[in-house]
Chain A
Amino acid sequence: MTREEIIKNGELVYRRTPVLTDNVMHYCPGCGHGTIHRLIAEVIEEMGIQDKTIGISPVGCSVFAYNYFDVDFVEAAHGRAPACATAIKRLNTDKFVFTYQGDGDLAAIGTAETIHACNRGENITMIFVNNAIYGMTGGQMAPTTLLGMKTVTCPYGRTVEANGYPLKITDIIASLPGTYYVTRQAVFTPAHVRKCKQAIRKAFENQKLKKGVSFVEIVSNCNSNWKMPATKANEWLEANMLPFYPLGDLKTPEK
């Protein structure tokens, strides 16, 4: 069968979701942000909640997320996305509210907002993209940077004496009573992407139950600041990030 015949007579298996706009993303080649944006957009499309979703974008690489989603968006001050989301959700209880934050935003400057929003049990979805580095500002050390990992502010590698231990914020959040669903996923292979999409879908559907925060951490890459090609960065992620940040559900709803 020729290519034209397959396109004409065959079935459409996969296409870019219309919930994403046609803008070309500003992310570096191979960056996980693009994949995660697409997964959230696909979940919004599948649930049919495009006109009922409000996103909150952070400060960081994903600061322009509102240019890529065809849903309502609010840009929060650095780290304050959970506080914004709290207000929006309390005033619009029938809307689906999600925050989209990186590790510098959620685990460093926004730790207080994050922990208190989770502890209050706000009925929101939080997407946390962990790439263990500050991407937008040029590769500085983040709270989540691994021990021994080189960044521009710890050029000989992170050490316990000088910089302390990496922060597993998701484990802290899972221990809080206000959270309903806490999970850690990745997006560097097709299998992980498919699993991650199910987790995001579950996190959005939990908003209907009004039981508390649904928190999805996604271990992602930053090939530009890790100074590797995209495919090498994914191998490095699997070899170094996943042993420290093991994938899986940290807290699932009791049945």
Chain B
Amino acid sequence: MAFQGTLVIDTEKCKGCGVCIVGCPKKVIALSKKVNHKGYNYLEMVNEAECIGCANCAVVCPDGVITVYRAKI
């Protein structure tokens, strides 16, 4: 059974620490070149098709900015 996942990222609350990027097993996420209103390079999905919805990124996020959905494919 395979899953495809996707993330909803609260970019205004993201502080760009990058802890989630290390935790992602599929290298789906990276820091954006753009910044939010506080000046942090926020998180974005760069490889959306690879996401399996494991929620590792959301589990380590210190600020709880990531919501994870997944569906069977």
Contacts and interface: CB of A to CB of B under 8 A. Distances in A.
A13 interface: yes
Contacts of A137: none
Given A5-B71, A10-B71, A194 B59 contact: yes
A15 to B, nearest CB: 5
Interface in B22-73: 22-23, 40, 48, 53, 55-56, 58-73
B35 to A, nearest CB: 13
Contact of B23 (A7, A12, A27, A190): A190
A190 B16 contact: no
A10 B56 contact: no
A24 B13 contact: yes
A32 B70 contact: no
B60 A193 contact: yes
Interface residues of B, number: 34
Q: Name, among A17, A28, A34, the residue most crowded by chain B CB atoms within 10 Å (CB to CB).
A: A34
Q: Name, among A3, A6, A187, A230, the residue most crowded by chain B CB atoms within 10 Å (CB to CB).
A: A6
B23 to A, nearest CB: 5
A157 interface: no
Contact of A229 (B5, B18, B64): B18
Contact of A190 (B60, B65, B69): B60
A189 B5 CA distance: 20
Contact of B67 (A1, A16, A33): A16
B18 A38 contact: no
A6 B59 contact: no
Nearest to A192: B60
Given A1-B73, A6-B5, A14 B66 contact: yes
B42 to A, nearest CB: 11
Given A13-B5, A25-B63, A193-B59, A7 B22 contact: no
Given A35-B60, A38-B64, A29 B17 contact: yes
Interface of A: 1, 3, 5-7, 9-17, 20, 24-25, 27-35, 38, 187-190, 193-194, 223, 229-231, 234
11 contacts: A3-B48, A7-B6, A7-B69, A13-B70, A14-B67, A15-B67, A20-B64, A35-B62, A190-B60, A231-B17, A231-B19
Listed from nearest, the 5 A-B pairs whose CB atoms lie closest are A34-B62, A10-B71, A30-B17, A29-B15, A29-B17
